[in-house]
Amino acid sequence: MKKTACFTIALICALTAVAEDGSRLWLRYERVQKACVTGVECLAAKELRDYYDGERVRLELDTTMAQDAYRIEGVTITAKNEIGLLYGTYALLRGEKGYSAPQWPLRILNHWDNLDGSIERGYAGNSIFFHVPNTPTTLQKIRDYARANASIGINGSVLNNVNASAKMLSAGYIKLVKTYADILRPYGIKVYLSVNFASPMTLGKLKTADPLDPQVAAWWKAKAKEIYTEIPDFGGFLVKANSEGQPGPGDYHRTHAEGANMLADAVKPYGGIIMWRSFVYGANHKGEDRVKQAVSEFVNDDGKFRDNVILQSKNGPLDFQPREPYAPIFDTMQHTPQMAELQITQEYLGQSRHLVYLAPMWQEFFSFVKPSRLVGIAGVANIGLDTNWCGHHFSQANWYAFGRLAWNPNLTSEEIAKEWLAQTFSLSCSTAPGKALLAMMMRSREACVDYMMPLGLHHIFKFDHHYGPEPDGFKAEYPLEWCPVYYHQADTAGIGFNRNHTGTNATAQYAEPYRSLYDDVKTCPEEYLLWFHHLPWDYCMKDGATLWENMQAHYNRGVSEVEDFLRIWQEAKPYIDEQRWKETDERLHHQLDNAREWRKVCLDYFRTFAEKKK
């Protein structure tokens, strides 16, 4: 009886809903203009007047409170400053009560946006910042972007790609960045820029970018001054150096610490920081297992960085795969402040075409790398000019979840998905349709692992675009580290990358207990099995099946999961507005086709080894 009532309410909501295109994200509040708001006059007060459905709210300041924290008690929101009040306001709007403070002071989006308006690994249209810079429409878009971020506590944006153009630091672009910074500031968002290490040469016409050259250091100091004159609260620089062809201190036989410290000194007087990426492989490490290279490259720099430098590392040691063990660099660098870089844009997880809810993957990472080990968190954004911002309606959940986890990594993936479904689709998870969609989201990441690369397989993607399968991928003209065959090592004897002590010994980079756990095939969790071990096709798995049989079962399960998502979505039809239902349905069909293709291509290829008579 109760269930029927909920169904009816959900049905009425769906039927009376206006056409929805996803542009309002999770902020679909109606403008009610009902509440009487007293106390501090600020942006928070305006938001409450427009959207709060209660009668009264009071906004109060308490300067003894922690930065960004808020308290919601009765009809009063209290915070240290206006930004805290704004966070408290959005929390009240989504139904929260009580006290809350963020885990990290740095909760930053990294945009890989290019100055020509394109986005590296962007799957939701062109750049909101650079495609048509500085028009009224763009400025409004950026205001909406700021509001969406503030509603989930994100407080920093790196506007441009880590593969950075030196032009970013030219006077004209600095003016543009100032315009954007002025819009983002009232929402508590600081602006940061990615910089090209060779900028003093490209832009400044110096003969070198050697970090120990006094002219180079002076150039960066002058540049920092120029930026801070326009943007006094500018956050600092993000740097990809000596990685994938980018310039860096290594070009002058200087260390990462020497490069980072020179930049750190330039921004230090203004309170700026340097986020230095550890995603470095290739050149100096010929022949070394790629997943070991970041540690080898940085270990000698530990403790040598200035206090305003933060080492930023991807969650896994390879590259944003659907599943990776955590990156051991988080264990190694004991004397260096560290940030984790997560990827919200689903480069290797079906991009904006597959429904994959990423919160469970990020939670998995936090179960290995304790949040208290980190000083901040960065997420590679999935935002573009598409009407619904993220391409796939459900990819919005990943932006939302990143912000919520950046605020509180102890939230569960379920809690976040429930909040998101309630706000985005007006669906309560105490109703059957809400429950079904929640289950679909929660199962989606494991499904993706299963139909793409189960059991610790990795990087068997098609060359360069990283979308479909190419397990036989090999091109002699490219570095081996870009070729799928290097990663799965399949032959008639077996499959998997031997990284235990008899192989590349990558396991030795881990702290205990993981070092021993991963090194021993008997204790290595099966989800990482082929990441760390090369095993015969008839190796006996925990369920008694052979490795080959078990692998086939995983691929089959991945496909049948997506079949089930389509069924769930079909049943949800009465409760979802037409446009978003249809657009999602089309993508789910596409995802099913892709999942079947992954299964076919991978199993057909591996079968040539697994079933070949020895």
Task: Give me the active site residues, please.
Answer: 244, 319, 347
Under the binding rule (CB under 6 A), the answer on residue 108 touching ligand GCW is no
Under the binding rule (CB under 6 A), the answer on residue 461 touching ligand GCW is no
Under the binding rule (CB under 6 A), the answer on residue 319 touching ligand GCW is yes
Q: Taking the complex as a whole, how short is the minimal distance between the CB of residue 306 and ligand GCW, in angstroms?
A: 23
For 370, other C-beta atoms within 10 Å of its C-beta total 10
Under the binding rule (CB under 6 A), the answer on residue 276 touching ligand GCW is no
**Polymer length in residues for the chain:** 614
Identify whether the C-beta of residue 152 lies closer than 8 Å to the C-beta of residue 383. Answer: no
Contact string 332-371 vs ligand GCW (x = CB under 6 A) = ---------------x------------------------
Q: Taking the complex as a whole, how short is the minimal distance between the CB of residue 194 and ligand GCW, in angstroms?
A: 9
Those residues whose C-beta lies under 8 Å from the C-beta of residue 146, and which sit 6 or more positions away, are: 183, 184, 186, 187, 189
Tell me the C-alpha to C-alpha distance, in Å, between residue 383 and each of 144, 343, 413, 445: 12, 12, 21, 20
Tell me the C-alpha to C-alpha distance, in Å, between residue 520 and each of 278, 418, 494, 517, 523: 28, 39, 17, 6, 5
Under the binding rule (CB under 6 A), the answer on residue 118 touching ligand GCW is no
Identify whether the C-beta of residue 77 lies closer than 8 Å to the C-beta of residue 88. Answer: yes
Among residue numbers 462 through 501, which ones bind ligand GCW (CB under 6 A)? none
For residues 194 and 444, which CB has a smaller minimum distance to ligand GCW in the complex? 194
For residues 119 and 535, which CB has a smaller minimum distance to ligand GCW in the complex? 119
Identify whether the C-beta of residue 177 lies closer than 8 Å to the C-beta of residue 231. Answer: yes
Among residue numbers 194 through 253, which ones bind ligand GCW (CB under 6 A)? 240, 244
Among residue numbers 161 through 200, which ones bind ligand GCW (CB under 6 A)? 162-163
Tell me the C-alpha to C-alpha distance, in Å, between residue 209 and each of 101, 170, 194, 206, 239: 41, 17, 16, 7, 14
Under the binding rule (CB under 6 A), the answer on residue 283 touching ligand GCW is no
Mapping DSSP onto H, E and C, the string for 91-122 reads HHHCCCCEEECCCCCEEEEECCECCCCCECCC
Under the binding rule (CB under 6 A), the answer on residue 113 touching ligand GCW is no
Question: How far apart (Å, rounded) are the C-alpha atoms in residues 154 and 142?
Answer: 14
For residues 119 and 216, which CB has a smaller minimum distance to ligand GCW in the complex? 119
Under the binding rule (CB under 6 A), the answer on residue 330 touching ligand GCW is no
Provide the H-helix boundaries in 369-467. 396-407, 413-425, 432-452
For residues 240 and 393, which CB has a smaller minimum distance to ligand GCW in the complex? 240
For residues 60 and 120, which CB has a smaller minimum distance to ligand GCW in the complex? 120
Decide: helix, strand or coil at residue 58.
strand
Under the binding rule (CB under 6 A), the answer on residue 290 touching ligand GCW is no
Applying CB under 6 A, among 121, 141, 254, 353 the residue interacting with ligand GCW is: 121
Question: How far apart (Å, rounded) are the C-alpha atoms in residues 613 and 12?
Answer: 62
Contact string 418-457 vs ligand GCW (x = CB under 6 A) = ----------------------------------------
Please report which helix (H) or strand (E) contains residue 78, including its range. strand 76-79
Instruction: Name the amino acid, one letter, at 522.
Output: K
Applying CB under 6 A, among 120, 415, 526, 549 the residue interacting with ligand GCW is: 120
Question: How far apart (Å, rounded) are the C-alpha atoms in residues 310 and 260?
Answer: 9
Q: Taking the complex as a whole, how short is the minimal distance between the CB of residue 466 and ligand GCW, in angstroms?
A: 6
For residues 165 and 507, which CB has a smaller minimum distance to ligand GCW in the complex? 165
Q: Taking the complex as a whole, how short is the minimal distance between the CB of residue 379 and ligand GCW, in angstroms?
A: 13
Q: Taking the complex as a whole, how short is the minimal distance between the CB of residue 8 and ligand GCW, in angstroms?
A: 47
Q: Taking the complex as a whole, how short is the minimal distance between the CB of residue 112 and ligand GCW, in angstroms?
A: 5
Those residues whose C-beta lies under 8 Å from the C-beta of residue 253, and which sit 6 or more positions away, are: none
Question: How far apart (Å, rounded) are the C-alpha atoms in residues 55 and 39?
Answer: 15
For residues 120 and 182, which CB has a smaller minimum distance to ligand GCW in the complex? 120
Question: How far apart (Å, rounded) are the C-alpha atoms in residues 26 and 46?
Answer: 19
For residues 97 and 478, which CB has a smaller minimum distance to ligand GCW in the complex? 478
Q: Total binding residues for ligand GCW by CB under 6 A?
A: 11
Contact string 12-51 vs ligand GCW (x = CB under 6 A) = ----------------------------------------
What residues line the site for ligand GCW (CB under 6 A)? 112, 120-121, 162-163, 240, 244, 279, 319-320, 347
